[in-house]
A and B are shown apart, each in its own frame.
Chain A
Amino acid sequence: MNVRIDTYQQAVSRILRFDRVQRTAHWANALLFGILMLTALLLYFPGLSGIVGRRALVVNIHVWTGIALPVPLLISLLGPWGARMRRDLRRVNKWTRDEIAWLWALGRRAPRVVDKFNPGQKLNSLFVGGSIVVMLATGIVLKWFQFFPVSWRMGATFVHDVLAFAIFVVVIGHIIFALAHPESMRSMVKGWVTEGWAARHAPAWLREETGEMEEDQSVAHSD
C-alpha cells in the first residue's frame, strides 16, 4: 500500500525542470569550464607552473578545450532536440519590470513573481554565455597573435585576465548556491523538482506547467 502511495505521489509531484539535453549540455559545459579553469591556474601562477611544467602541453589543452567550449551549448540549442533549451533561453532573455527593479536594487528586494528562473539565475546564464564569447575572442588573439597588433594582444591579455577572475568568482558562487540548494542541484542531475519546491521557488512556472497539460497536445500538433 505504501508503495502505491509513493508511486502516486511521484506521479503528481515531480515536475521536469531540465530535460536530458539540457542536463548533458550543462555538465559538458561544466567539464570544459573545469578543465579551462584548472589549466588557467597552471598557466597563470608561477608556483603551479613550476610544479607541472610542460607548458606547451598545458597550453594546448587550454586552447583546444576553449575552442570546444561553445559546442555543447550550440548543439543543445540548435538541434531538433533543443526545444526546451530554446524555451528556457527565451525565459532568460525576457525580464519583467519587477525583475529589472530587482537588478537595480542589487538583489536586495525580491521580485513579486518568480518565473522558472529568478533574476540571479538569469544573470548567471547570461554571464556564462557572454564569457564564452569574450574568452574565445580574446583567446584567439592570444593564440594566433601574429595576426594582431601588439596593443590588441595587450588588450586581449587584460580582458582575458580580468574576466577569468570574474569567472572564478561567479563559478565558485554558483557551486556554493547549488550546494546550499540540494533540490535545485538534484534537478540538474535527475531533471525533476517536487511540486512543493516549484511552489516555493518558481510559483509562476508551476502554474504554467500544471495549467499547460491539455494545451501540450495542441502545441505538438502546431509544431
Chain B
Amino acid sequence: MTTTAKGAPDQKAGVTIAVGRRVFLGMTALGLAGIVFGARLESVLDSGLQRLFPWWPGFRIYSISGSYPMISEAEYRLEISGLVDRPRVFTLADLKAMPSTSFSQEFQCVTGWTVPNVEWEGVKLSDILDEAGVRQGATALSFESYDGADSESLTLYQAQLPDVIVAYRMLGAPVTTEHGGPVRLYVGPMFGYKSLKWLSAIRVVDQVIPGYWEQNGYPLNGWRDGSTGPTDLALTGGVA
C-alpha cells in the first residue's frame, strides 16, 4: 500500500489497473478450459498442425529399459508355451507364412495422445493360439519382450478379438526397431501400453499376471472406450 502511495507522484497517468491478476487468471482459466474442451479443438486443428510441425502429434516412444533391443529379422523368434498342446517357436518366416490380416486404426495412448490412421499387418493372435492348441484351464496370456523388462497380459477372451494381432508391418513398412520391431503385439481395442513391443514370448496361463505398466498403476484392462478403472475385472473380460 505504501508502495503505490510513493509510486503515485511518478506516474503522470496516476491510475494503475490490476492487469497482472487478469492475465494470470485468464491464462489459468484458458488452460483449465483446454482440459475440458481441448480434445475438440485439437481434432479441428490436427491436420493443419501436422502439416506445420511434422512431429505433431507423433508417437511418444515408451522404452522402459536402457536402449532398444536390436533383433534382426533372421534371428527373431517367438516362443509360445505354457498351457498349450503344442509348444513351439515361430520364426518371422513362419509368421509370414500364416494367413495375414491388415487394417488401419487410430493409435491412442492412455494419457491422451493419439496418432490417426496407423496401418497394421500381421497374424491374428487367435490363429497363433489355434496353431498351438490352448488347453483346458487356460484363462489368460502373459507376454514377454526382448527388452527384458516389459511384459503384458490379456485374458483369453481379449486375445481372441479380431483386431488383436502379432504385427510385423506397421505404417506401411516392416515394424521398425523404435516401434518394437521386427515383431510386436498390437491390441486394437485397448490403449497403446497393451501393445507390447519386441514381442519374444507368449505364455498361456491360468490367471492374469499384471504386466509392467499395470504394476506401475495402469489399469489391467486398457479398453479404449473409457472403462479403464482399476476395478475392471480382468477375468470377466467380455462385457466391455
Are B57 and A56 in contact, CB atoms less than 8 angstroms apart? no
Residue among B16, B62, B68, B114 facing the most chain A CB atoms (10 A cut-off): B16
Whole-angstrom CA separation of A112 from B14 in the bound complex = 13
Stretch at the interface among A11-19, A95-103, A171-179: A95-103
Residues of chain A with a CB closer than 8 A to B61's CB: 46, 49-50
Q: A204 touching B7 by the CB < 8 A rule? A: yes
**Cβ of B152 to closest chain A Cβ, rounded Å:** 15
Decide if A94 is an interface residue (CB 8 Å cutoff): yes
C-alpha gap A151/B64 in the complex (Å):
26
Given known A-B contacts A46-B59, A163-B31, A215-B6, A153 and B112 have beta carbons under 8 A apart: yes
- Give the residue name and chain of the A residue nearest to B5 (CB): A215
Kindly provide the distance from the CB of A193 to the nearest chain B CB, expressed in whole angstroms.
18
Knowing A46-B59, A134-B27, A153-B112, say if A159 contacts B66 (CB, 8 Å): no
- Chain A 14-40 against B: per-residue CB contact (8 Å), 1 yes, 0 no? 000000000000000000000000000
Contact of B6 among A56, A130, A212 (CB under 8 A): A212
Instruction: Answer yes or no: B74 CB below 8 A from chain A CBs.
Output: no
By CB atoms of chain A within 10 A, which of B17, B58, B224 has the most? B17
- Picked from B6, B36, B65, the residue with its CB within 8 Å of the CB of A152 is B36
Q: Across the interface, name the chain B residue whose C-beta is closest to A212.
A: B6
Instruction: Report the separation of the CA atoms of residues A49 and B58 in the bound assembly, to the nearest whole angstrom.
Output: 13
A158 to B4, CA, bound (A): 40
In the complex, the answer to whether A208 meets B24 with C-beta atoms within 8 Å is no
Report the separation of the CA atoms of residues A171 and B36 in the bound assembly, to the nearest whole angstrom. 27
**Smallest CB–CB gap between A89 and chain B, Å?**
8
Cβ B3 vs Cβ A90 within 8 A? yes
Q: Which 8 A-B pairs have the closest CB atoms?
A: A155-B38, A134-B31, A130-B27, A93-B20, A153-B112, A157-B112, A95-B19, A159-B34
- Extra pairs beyond A95-B16, A126-B23 (12, CB < 8 Å): A46-B61, A49-B61, A50-B67, A94-B17, A130-B28, A137-B32, A145-B110, A150-B228, A155-B38, A158-B112, A159-B38, A215-B2
7 CB-based A-B contacts, threshold 8 Å? A50-B178, A94-B17, A95-B17, A125-B20, A130-B31, A146-B219, A204-B7
